[in-house]
Each structure stands twice: as structure tokens, then as C-alpha cells.
A and B are shown apart, each in its own frame.
Chain A
Amino acid sequence: MLFQRWFGLNAVRERQCKKAPEGPLKSFLSVPFPEPQTPIKEVELLALDFETTGLNSKKDHILSVGCTPIHHGIICLADSLHTVVNHNIELERENVQIHQITDNEQAQGQSLERVIEQLLAQLAGKVMLVHFAHIERSFLQQACLQLYGVAPVFPIIDTLQIAKRRFDLSDTPYDPSRLRLANLRQEYGLPPHYEHNALNDAVASGELLLAQLSQLTQGRDTPLKKLLV
């Protein structure tokens, strides 16, 4: 069933590619997603994190984007990207407090269009790796809709989902806060990380995936389809 859904995802991509206007989105959609049975160690991933002004992609904004590719199971900081998005809006106090992004820094950031363009270029042919997929997927789709008139599909691995599947297998109830990135990292024996910075969070979820893979029976040979959301 997964296979079919995956097959469908690549088919949707092709369909969307035809519809998309010339430009960054079309380029992104023209590169096929990795084959579902590919062992995870051979799949190119892009660990990604957004800092946003809220949870609603229709109303809220992406404040900053951090991402770093993972080749052959290795997180490569050389190709990492971290950028602030300039929406020319006044930031609310609590946002500044959480993300440490000041109005001044926002003003020095890049336009949403420019940021999404870079991100799509990085993402082409790769699988998106996030913690709690809802945010990145919905905000990225909303941004694409706004910029190019199409909300594309993305193959996504969600470290939260991988952990949740494992917790759900045991019958004992668990505290949902265990699924938070910082708490899961601790559970997997990873060091604490600096939270609420998009690049640090992206790297943190990348490390978490590597730790999670090591606990799966097939390890790095696990086929991609078993990990997709």
C-alpha cells in the first residue's frame, strides 16, 4: 500500500510539473524523487527547519530557514544554509524572544521568493527530513502556492513520526512531550542542542535520524519507503 502511495507521489509530481510555471518550482518538480525501495544510506536527504511566527500557514510567516544535506548518512555542514526571511512586518515581542530574530535582523534578510528559490534548488531530487512535518510541509506549500500558484508534493521523513511509531508499538501510554525534539535526542543519548534556531534544529533532527536508524533492525539498509510519512 505504501508502495502505491509512493508511486502516486511521483505521479503527482509529474502532473504538477506540467502545470507549474517556468521557474524554480518547475525545476524542482522536474527531478524525480528517489526510488522507494532505495536503502536509506543511498538516499540524499535535506534536513530542514523553519522558524515561524505561528502554527497557521495561512496567517503566519516563515521567519527563518535552516537546512543541511545528508549524503550517505553523513551530515555535511559545508552545504548547509541558514537565512532570515524579510517580510517587512513588525515582529511580535514573543517571537523575538523565542527565535532571537530582531526587526533589525529581519530587515537584513532575503525576500521570501529568494529564499524559497534557494530551498527548492537544494531540495530537488532529495527527501525532506523534518521533525514534526506539518509545519514545514504546510508553510512551504503555502509559500509555493502564493509564489507559483501550485502547492507541490514532497517526500518527507519525520523523526517525530519514527519515534511515535515506536512508542505506539508498546502498549504503555506515554507523555506526548517525549516526542519533542530535545527530549527525543536525550532519549537517544544525543547531546543537548541550541533550540529555536532553524539551522541548529535542522542539524539536531538530522543527528536524531542517524541515531534512530542505528536502532532499526536493518539500520542504514532500511528501505526509504519504510521511513516516509
Chain B
Amino acid sequence: MSSELTEIKTFIQATNPLDLLPEPILEKLIKQVQICYVRCDETLPPQGITDPSLYVIRKGTLSVIKNNQELIEKLAEGDICSVFCSQDAVSNTLVKADEDTLIYAISFSSLLEICVEHPHVGAFFTKPAAERLSDQVSKINEQEVVSSTLMNRSIGDFFSSPAVTIEETTSLQSAAMIMTERNFSSLLIIRDKALVGIVTDKDFRCRGLAKGLTLSAPVSDIMTADVQMIDVNASAYEALIKMNSRGIHHLPVSRKGQLAGMVTITDLMRQESLSSVNVSSMIAKAKDVTELSHISDLLPKLQVSMAKLGTSASSVGKTMSAIADAFTCKLIELAKAHLGDEPVPFVWVSAGSQARQEQMVSSDQDNALIIDDSLQEQHRPWFTQLAQFVCDGLAQCGYPYCPGDVMASNQKWRQTQAVWHKYFTQWIDKPDPKALMHCSIFFDMRSVYGKESLLEDVRQKMLKKTQGNTLFLAHLSANAIKLRPPLGFFRDFVLTDNGKHKNTLDLKHNGIAPVVDLARIYALSEGIEEVNTLKRLTQAMGTSSLTQGSGKSLFSAFEFLTMSKVKHQAKQLLEGEETDCFISPNALSKLDREHLKDAFKVIKEMQSVRQTTYG
């Protein structure tokens, strides 16, 4: 009897974002439901419904079509159609039932009224995709802060124990001697075995010497009384908060109310950045390629732990790229120990994702050599051997050879600066498909080792040629928008542009790569030197290529897509699988699907802007 309209409630409760509503509000909302049945091929809104409404699909499917022909999305059980939320904005949009469809309609004005204390619910339906996405990204970024390493470690894991204590009557000199002996920056003061205070290095200076106290004065004269303790089971994050709020750097640790040890701000800082810094210093210390390859075994673990700690995708990319740089530099040094110093200056450059600092575990290597024009024929073998050694070494360290042979070991990509100038000139002047492919690889280059000006000269000349070069940019744009993101999801399938269903989502080619391509085009048209996608977007914002608003939308889309990739790969790494970018829709939460759909929408919009600019 308690179960009035049970299944309607259960059903509505499972839809996003109505699932966020508390029970009593939901009950009120259910009372507003109007159940309609739309026959196959009939259009929405259903006959008899005049108010602007939301339509929750209970059974059946709907297609949303724009401008008479362009399929925007397909909706199935549990999806919500928000096209008719407001009176306007539907003139060119048609929603039609693909089969007989049972729908729960909820008048939007009564929804807003009922959910007045939950404004995010109404806003969810009226906000444009881009805004919704950036909300989500900032929410995740907030989570990153609290879920960082400190949050997940309890003090018990790393505090120093036992705490060193002295009686309050101890003289300043003896106290200072104990601290020096033990290399401590603080001491705890006790009276009758009870904690009464703390002294730190600073107290000796400020309250002791500066005040002219004698060496025999008791330590109680300079101590801070009223000491805060923290329980051994508290998280490192709590300790940090406590220290920050009181402006202190030392916290005595208690276990079951008894003094057990001490934790310092230095201990906390060490926890936070331990792992990636460690790997880099291990690489620097390695003696040969075998040792390096052992170190590279740690990388999957490192990426997983970063993903689990909620590190943002761009930080993961930066860290993994920095580590790839460290491997490369170390390999070059090992080679030089063998081959002797370079006969003429050169720079080792990375291309592709490593250059953009967007690399993940097991990315292919993309690299090249730019050699000073003073190169003589007899110097060539030195560079050949260097390149071969480094590329082989990288392969041993888990960076597979580039399938397209874009590596310094390929003579074509191991050339003097003059040749590189010529390459770029050819590609830009004659943008055939192959040239465009090379452009997308070599426009993203970053110095890893050697004389950086060799690359910078090449880049400057290249940017001068591309900036305002409409014909070239048109070719590049046309090429870039060939990769179209899907429309979204339909039941457990990916719904592609042409209305077909696919079983998996290719996050790289259908989401990440299109943004990378767009950002590169903006950079080239505006003469921006930056290669990192997010930085390119930030710098291009507000130029004639990219408005502030669109820039921010693309930024959020890229962050969300790369974040999804990091999460997906962490799962694969944990299960010992090879990483890829293929996600099965049923592995995605309803919310993730919504946000991915928003990201696709943003990208498609920007692609069509490109198309109309240069089409």
C-alpha cells in the first residue's frame, strides 16, 4: 500500500539529473506527470500538451532532427528530451517517434516551481552543452584538490615516532644541543609526563636570543603553550589544514590520547610529490639501458596512481611527457659516453603527443633531429648511431617504434636546419594529403635535448608562412574536420554522425584528436608558438580565430575527454591489459555519457565554424 505509483517513481529516480532530488520533492514531481503515448512517426509535443515540458521516455525511441534532415540525437528508455523546455528555440528542430513510444511529460514551469530549492535541476536542462560541461570539469577539478595524495594517507603511515620530549625546566642550551644532535627542528616540552608546550628553531631566535635570555633560562620561557595535537588516524590533509589555519609547521601526533610522535610540514610535502619526482631521479642515476627499462616498468603504476588520486589529465600528460623526456635525455647521454661529443650542434626534438605534453603510458615515439647547417658528410655516422641508439633504447623502455617511421632513426627526419626549412616550405606551399599529414605531426615539436635555437628558428619561419595563409589553412581545416565526433549514445551503442550504431567509442579519433587539430589550426593562423593543446586554446582565445566563449568550451571538452581517457586506461592498466582509447558505452555511467555528448556537441559546433570559415 505504501507503494503509490511505485514504478513511475523508481523509473524517474533513475534518470539524470532528477536522481539528485530528495524523496519528498520527487513525490511531488511524480504527481505532475502526464503520461502520453506517441505513435510511430508522430512528432512531439504530443497532442494535448501545450505547456513547455520535459519528456522522459519510458518505452520506445525518439529522433531529434534539425533543419529537416540532420540527425542530432536519438533517445531511448530513461533519456530525457529537453527540446521543448521553453516556448522558443524549437523552430528548426523536429522530434519524432521511431516506434510507438510511452512518455512521461512534466511541465517545465511546475518542475521549476517544485525544484525551487534545487536550481541545478532546472538549469541542467536549459544550460547549453558547453556550460554544463565546464560546470562538470570544474567540479572534478575541485574534487582533485581534496582527493589528492594527502587526503588518502593517514598520518600513521609516515609520522616520526616516538616524539622527543624534554622537561620544562631544561635549559635553553641543553635543549638546543639535543635538537642539534638529533637534527630536529622542534622539541616537545613535558611537565609530569603531560605535554605542556613545544619549541621550534624559530622560538630560540625570536623568543630567546632576540629577547636576550641567558643560556641557562628554562625552555618553558620560550615554548608555545597550548599545543594542538592530531590523532594518528587523521588524514595528512587534515594535518595540513590544521597547520595552515594556525600558521604552524609542527604537529604532535597522539594515539588514543597519548603522545605518540610528531609530523612536520616537510613530511607532508614529501608525501605529495614523491612518486613522479622519484622516477625522474631514478632515471638520472641509471647506468645503462637495462636499468632504464626496469624503471620504465614503474610507469603504468605511476599513471594508475595518478588517475586514482584524481590528478587532472593535463597533469598526468605533463608528468608522463616529462618522464619520456628524462628517458630520452638519459639515452642521449649514454650514447655520448660511447660516441663522444657531437661534432656539430644539434637538437633532439619530440613530436606529437610527447611534444604537446599530452603523453600517456605506451604512446608511440615520435621524434626527429635538427642538425646545424655546418654538418659535414663525415659527421653523419655519429648522428646515425646516436639516433639508432636512442630510438632502440626508447623502444626497450616501453615506447614502441612509430609505425609511420617518424623517428630520428629515419634519415628523412634526421636533417640539417636548411633541409627542415625546405620541408616546411614545401608542405605549406603544396598541401597535398601527405604534406598535411606531416604538418599535423611536425607542427607540434618541442626541444628535448641540445641547442634549442635550431628548432626555434625553424618554428619562427614556419609560423610566418602559415599565419594568414588562408589557402593552406583551408586545406588543413578541411583535413582536420574529417574526424567527426559521434552524436552521442543510443541505448548501449555509440550513435555516429550518419545515424549508425557502433559498439565502441574511439575516444582518441572521435574526440581528443579533433580538438588537438582545431587547436593547432588556431595556433598556426595566429602565429602562436605553444604546442600544448590547452595552452594553444588559452592563447588563441579572444583572437579572430577563436572567441573567448568557444575557447572555454573547447577547453572543457578537451579536459573532460582526456580525463575519461585517463580513467579508462587506469582501469585497463589495473587489469593488466594493453591500454587503448576504445570505450564500450555500457562501461560509462549515465552522467558520463551526458557529459561526453556535451563535449561532442561543442567539438562539432567548432568544426562547423571551421567549415564555414574555410569551406
Contact = CB atoms under 8 A, between A and B. Distances in A.
Given A189-B100, A190-B102, A73 B6 contact: no
A183 interface: no
A87 interface: no
A166 to B, nearest CB: 16
Contacts of B243: none
A41 B5 contact: no
Given A78-B32, A80-B31, A200-B6, 12 more contacts: A41-B47, A41-B48, A64-B1, A73-B36, A73-B47, A75-B35, A77-B34, A189-B100, A191-B59, A194-B3, A207-B102, A210-B36
A75 B58 CA distance: 14
Contacts of B58: 191
Contacts of B484: none
B30 interface: yes
B117 interface: no
B: contact size bracket: 20 to 34
B295 interface: no
B1 A84 contact: yes
**The 6 A-B residue pairs with the shortest CB-CB distance in the complex, in nearest-first order:** A72-B48, A210-B37, A75-B35, A194-B6, A214-B39, A74-B48
B32 A199 contact: no
B7 interface: yes
B217 interface: no
B7 A101 contact: no
Nearest to B2: A100
Contacts of B102: 190-191, 207, 210-211
Contacts of B4: 82, 197, 199-200
Contacts of B5: 77, 199-200, 203
A73 B37 contact: yes
A199 B46 CA distance: 24
Interface of A: 41, 64, 71-78, 80, 82, 84, 99-102, 105, 189-194, 197, 199-200, 203, 206-207, 210-211, 213-214, 219-220
Contact of B35 (A64, A82, A194, A203): A203
Contact of A197 (B3, B46, B100, B105): B3
Given A84-B1, A203-B35, A207-B102, A190 B59 contact: yes
A216 to B, nearest CB: 11
Interface string B1-35: 11111111001000000000000000000111111
26 contacts: A41-B47, A73-B46, A74-B48, A74-B49, A77-B5, A77-B30, A77-B31, A77-B35, A78-B31, A78-B34, A99-B1, A101-B1, A105-B1, A190-B59, A191-B11, A191-B58, A197-B3, A197-B6, A199-B4, A200-B3, A200-B7, A210-B37, A210-B102, A211-B100, A214-B37, A219-B39
A199 B4 CA distance: 7
Nearest to B60: A189
Contacts of A197: 1, 3-4, 6
A219 B46 CA distance: 14
B45 to A, nearest CB: 11
Contacts of B49: 74
Contacts of B6: 194, 197, 200
Nearest to A82: B4
A226 B1 CA distance: 36
Nearest to A42: B48
Contacts of A194: 3, 6-7
A64 B31 CA distance: 19
B30 A100 contact: no
A106 to B, nearest CB: 9
B451 to A, nearest CB: 70
Nearest to A219: B39
A100 B3 CA distance: 9
Interface in B94-110: 100, 102, 105
Contact of B32 (A72, A77, A210): A77
Interface in B449-490: none
Contacts of B47: 41, 72-73, 220
A214 B36 CA distance: 12
A191 to B, nearest CB: 5
A211 B31 contact: no
A224 B59 CA distance: 27
A71 to B, nearest CB: 7
Contacts of A203: 5, 8, 35
Nearest to B36: A74
Contacts of A72: 47-48
Contacts of B100: 189, 211, 214
A34 B30 CA distance: 30
A192 B465 CA distance: 66
Interface string B522-550: 00000000000000000000000000000
A28 to B, nearest CB: 25
A100 to B, nearest CB: 5
B333 to A, nearest CB: 67
A74 B46 contact: yes
A75 B31 CA distance: 11
A111 to B, nearest CB: 18
- Interface-centre pick from B4, B7, B31, B35 (highest chain A CB count, 10 A): B35
B48 A71 contact: yes
A77 B58 CA distance: 15
Given A74-B36, A192-B7, A102 B1 contact: yes
Nearest to A79: B31
Interface string B30-71: 111111110100000011110000000011100000000000
A206 B35 contact: yes
A72 B51 CA distance: 14
A80 B32 CA distance: 10
A73 B91 CA distance: 25
A99 B2 CA distance: 11
A134 B575 CA distance: 61
